[in-house]
Chain A
């Protein structure tokens, strides 16, 4: 296929050619960034979380009387364990993705202070007895807490529990002690110190952001009013019934408190509701934008074909086949799209850098650029097919008529 005539004719139609290039470039820039935003959000929504998400339900109690909590918790748990289908029940201070975050900064030396610069912010989960089993934590190394450790740990109004043991997530262990076994190591916030007795698979923080996702640690605790979330584990098909019965039971036991139940899946869906609706919005924008771009190419190419009926007729009359004519327009489109894509990739990169600087946007993976280029090449070829076929259908006899 001879490519020189394509350039020669494009030089004669500079404005429409430039418009197509510009259209493709803009579409490429917006598309790459929009898809990158979608990918980022899909990643967030799919973050893994090593608890039994399907089986866990939570009943939160508001209005606990701190003076009676030490006796209320065992009474409530006994009642909850009596519900048919409940496999495990325990009381905890907060849950992953519940927005209810109690974070504290710890260091690796006994003198570490909360305000030191090189400390690590850790989300703290306080668990009552049976907590690991009720949540379905997956132990990788070491052990969970024993009965004495639960019984001997209290807050008494201070921000950190009086225990000296903790279980950390694998991610946190790697961050604090890279390449070393975490078991037996200690982290500090003067005057508190906690020794790692177990490492569990990664559990999300109560609220996650770009840099803090899995930095969580678990501590034993008993008889404290901050333990206000009852975790119930059951088979997924029993879960909703268990929640309703548990709400009723807790309300019957104590008229002054307010108990509200929800399945863990609902907590997770609610946490990511905005993120997933934004992702859908972006998908919609991408689809409509591609459609608009394709229609624009169809419109301009059709006009072109209409303008060049004479020339097409002459080429056909002097021996060009239908295939030649079709290929001519396809090649022309390919040249224009290539130019657009090259400019578009540059624009996409600049836009990405700008958005990264001003918004919570991550670096676009490099392969988005070639992927975007291929998508637009395909789109261009698809859009030009109709007008090119119409051009190929121009009969040679047109050349002999002076319209």
Chain B
């Protein structure tokens, strides 16, 4: 029966090409616009480390003085050097890393290459294992390298291609801000989206090219980038950041089970109480332990413009759908005579209803194909935009499926009212007026 309905639908659609084209176009435009923005939203709100993100946590403490205290306010979004080092050395998590961003002058020894600046990350050694960073050559550095302020560096594949033409460069020397570093590892392509571990650096910015142990970077006073919040006597003077009352570091911890997460939160409370009794903390204990996805939510990493666009596109889809409802109604009711004959020959209301819905589905499928083409066009346009997330806008398989489901679903929904209305025709009346 389905095949017969399909045949009827195609015949009917061919009969009035103009109206059919209008309906398909309306659905295609609505689907195209909403899929473009939904894809951007999907890419931007995606999980940067699927399967792992649930075990990564971002502890927040409140080390500030009582100035401007408001109960229930969110603690600072970074940690001080003292707290960061205390948490790091306590080793309460399965893995932990303390880090900040920066920029270093790279001074190639190769002839014919000018010095240039490269974004850098100053971090402790667990960073690579904790965030599952893939290595092309070599590996990260050890805890003893961190302690010993070793002059070691990990570079990305991009930088390795630029400086060493893609060859295994581990063991070679790289000059950074007038100091010789030994390359211990080269990363494979890695660009987590969003740039979750430090949201101060541009949420969708490309990853850094140079990774240096935190203690080494501080000893050499390498340029630091990122946000810093100070209170009390904290002045943000780069020379004394280790003791300043300023938060400027990010601390991540890996906790493999919910029990460990709960235990870690208890530890944070305990730690805050201890610091308070020592007189370092003044405020009532205020700790939080969001996991990675919660942390992204708190920071509102998805740009407001993108959400706004999504709303707008859904509104647009709604306009297109109402329009399709109107056009289908016109189309179905115009065929009152034909439907009357079918009813008189014995088709039940249900069967007529099904036949009309098949027709709506065919329109939806055609609209889906058109919408997909428009979405490809839209995403191509998005990729040409200057935003830092632009290059990420690609359609994946799940979004492809959603496009068709949305198109067919939307057109079936749009077909319900017209089909129901067309079923109400009294066959006798239609036959008489012929």
Which A residues are within 8 Å of any B CB, using their own CB? 15-16, 19-20, 22-23, 26-27, 29-30, 33-34, 37, 62-63, 113, 115, 117, 157-159, 251, 255-256, 258, 270, 273-274, 277-278, 281-282, 285, 288-289, 292-293, 295-296, 299-300, 302-303, 306-307, 355, 359-361, 403
User: How does the 8 Å CB contact mask read for B18-31 relative to A, with 1 for contact and 0 for none?
Assistant: 01001001100110
Contact A289 B115 (CB under 8 A): no
- Kindly state whether residue B263 has any CB partner on chain A within 8 Å: no
**Residues of chain A lying within 8 A (CB to CB) of residue B333:** 303, 307
Contact A63 B305 (CB under 8 A): no
SS class of chain B's interface: helix, strand, loop or mixed? helix
A403 to B336, CA, bound (A): 15
Can you report 29 residue pairs joining A to B where beta carbons are below 8 Å apart? A15-B417, A19-B325, A19-B326, A19-B329, A30-B312, A30-B319, A33-B312, A113-B67, A115-B231, A157-B237, A159-B235, A255-B115, A256-B105, A256-B107, A258-B105, A258-B115, A270-B386, A274-B305, A282-B312, A292-B29, A292-B323, A296-B322, A296-B323, A299-B19, A303-B330, A303-B333, A359-B304, A359-B308, A360-B304
Nearest CB on B from A54, distance (A)? 22
Contact B305 A278 (CB under 8 A): yes
A299 to B24, CA, bound (A): 13
**Residues of chain B lying within 8 A (CB to CB) of residue A293:** 319, 323
Contact A16 B315 (CB under 8 A): no
**Residues of chain B lying within 8 A (CB to CB) of residue A117:** 68
Contact A20 B315 (CB under 8 A): no
Nearest CB on A from B25, distance (A)? 8
- Kindly state whether residue B38 has any CB partner on chain A within 8 Å: no
The chain B residue sitting closest to A354, CB to CB, is: B311
**Residues of chain A lying within 8 A (CB to CB) of residue B331:** 303
User: How does the 8 Å CB contact mask read for B208-242 relative to A, with 1 for contact and 0 for none?
Assistant: 00000000000000000000000100011111000
What would 8 more interface pairs be, CB under 8 Å, given A22-B322, A62-B103, A303-B329? A15-B421, A16-B326, A62-B105, A62-B117, A273-B387, A292-B25, A299-B19, A403-B433
**Residues of chain A lying within 8 A (CB to CB) of residue B327:** 296, 299-300
Contact B305 A299 (CB under 8 A): no
Contact A273 B386, CB 8 Å, known A30-B315, A281-B309, A285-B312: yes
Near A by CB (< 8 A), chain B positions 122-137 give none
Nearest CB on B from A105, distance (A)? 11
Nearest CB on B from A341, distance (A)? 15
Most buried by B among A30, A270, A281, A359: A281
A278 to B40, CA, bound (A): 14
Contact A63 B67 (CB under 8 A): no
Q: Which of A270, A285, A299 makes the CB contact (< 8 A) with B316?
A: A285
A359 to B320, CA, bound (A): 25
- Kindly state whether residue B307 has any CB partner on chain A within 8 Å: yes
Contact B308 A16 (CB under 8 A): no
Contact B308 A355 (CB under 8 A): yes
User: How does the 8 Å CB contact mask read for B368-395 relative to A, with 1 for contact and 0 for none?
Assistant: 0000000000000000011100000000
**Residues of chain B lying within 8 A (CB to CB) of residue A277:** 385-387
Contact B334 A303 (CB under 8 A): yes
A173 to B334, CA, bound (A): 70
- Kindly state whether residue B6 has any CB partner on chain A within 8 Å: no
SS class of chain A's interface: helix, strand, loop or mixed? helix
**Residues of chain B lying within 8 A (CB to CB) of residue A360:** 304
**Residues of chain A lying within 8 A (CB to CB) of residue B116:** 258
Contact B319 A256 (CB under 8 A): no
A16 to B328, CA, bound (A): 10
The chain A residue sitting closest to B303, CB to CB, is: A274
Contact A274 B385 (CB under 8 A): yes
Contact B326 A300 (CB under 8 A): yes
Most buried by A among B237, B308, B318, B385: B308
Contact B323 A295 (CB under 8 A): yes
Contact A258 B316 (CB under 8 A): no
**Residues of chain A lying within 8 A (CB to CB) of residue B25:** 292, 295
Contact A288 B29 (CB under 8 A): yes
**Residues of chain B lying within 8 A (CB to CB) of residue A19:** 322, 325-326, 329
- Kindly state whether residue B87 has any CB partner on chain A within 8 Å: no
Q: Which of A251, A258, A306 makes the CB contact (< 8 A) with B334?
A: A306
- Kindly state whether residue B412 has any CB partner on chain A within 8 Å: no
**Residues of chain A lying within 8 A (CB to CB) of residue B239:** 157
A86 to B241, CA, bound (A): 41
The chain A residue sitting closest to B32, CB to CB, is: A288
Nearest CB on B from A327, distance (A)? 23
A20 to B165, CA, bound (A): 65
| Top-4 shortest CB links A-B | A303-B330, A296-B323, A273-B386, A19-B326
**Residues of chain B lying within 8 A (CB to CB) of residue A159:** 235-236
**Residues of chain B lying within 8 A (CB to CB) of residue A306:** 334
- Kindly state whether residue B408 has any CB partner on chain A within 8 Å: no
Q: Which of A115, A288, A296, A300 makes the CB contact (< 8 A) with B68?
A: A115
Contact B319 A295 (CB under 8 A): no
Contact B326 A296 (CB under 8 A): yes
A303 to B261, CA, bound (A): 65
Contact A258 B117 (CB under 8 A): yes
Most buried by A among B236, B319, B387, B421: B319
Contact A158 B29, CB 8 Å, known A274-B305, A303-B334: no
Most buried by A among B25, B237, B322, B325: B322
**Residues of chain B lying within 8 A (CB to CB) of residue A62:** 103, 105, 117
Nearest CB on A from B245, distance (A)? 12
Most buried by A among B30, B308, B323, B333: B323
Contact B326 A20 (CB under 8 A): yes
Contact A285 B33 (CB under 8 A): yes
A285 to B312, CA, bound (A): 9
The chain A residue sitting closest to B235, CB to CB, is: A159
Contact B22 A63 (CB under 8 A): no
The chain B residue sitting closest to A25, CB to CB, is: B322
Nearest CB on A from B32, distance (A)? 10
Near A by CB (< 8 A), chain B positions 20-59 give 22, 25-26, 29-30, 33
Near A by CB (< 8 A), chain B positions 99-121 give 103, 105, 107, 114-117
A34 to B320, CA, bound (A): 16
**Residues of chain A lying within 8 A (CB to CB) of residue B421:** 15
Contact A26 B22, CB 8 Å, known A15-B421, A159-B235, A300-B330: no
Contact A158 B105 (CB under 8 A): no
Q: Which of A34, A115, A296, A302 makes the CB contact (< 8 A) with B312?
A: A34
Nearest CB on B from A126, distance (A)? 15
Q: Which of A37, A158, A273, A274 makes the CB contact (< 8 A) with B308?
A: A37
**Residues of chain A lying within 8 A (CB to CB) of residue B30:** 292
Nearest CB on B from A348, distance (A)? 11
**Residues of chain B lying within 8 A (CB to CB) of residue A63:** 105, 115, 117
The chain A residue sitting closest to B231, CB to CB, is: A115
Nearest CB on A from B73, distance (A)? 13
Contact A15 B318 (CB under 8 A): no
A342 to B172, CA, bound (A): 74
Contact B316 A30 (CB under 8 A): yes
Contact B231 A292 (CB under 8 A): no
**Residues of chain A lying within 8 A (CB to CB) of residue B313:** 285
The chain B residue sitting closest to A260, CB to CB, is: B117
Nearest CB on B from A269, distance (A)? 9
The chain A residue sitting closest to B104, CB to CB, is: A63
A277 to B393, CA, bound (A): 15
A80 to B434, CA, bound (A): 91
Nearest CB on B from A300, distance (A)? 5
Contact A23 B326 (CB under 8 A): yes
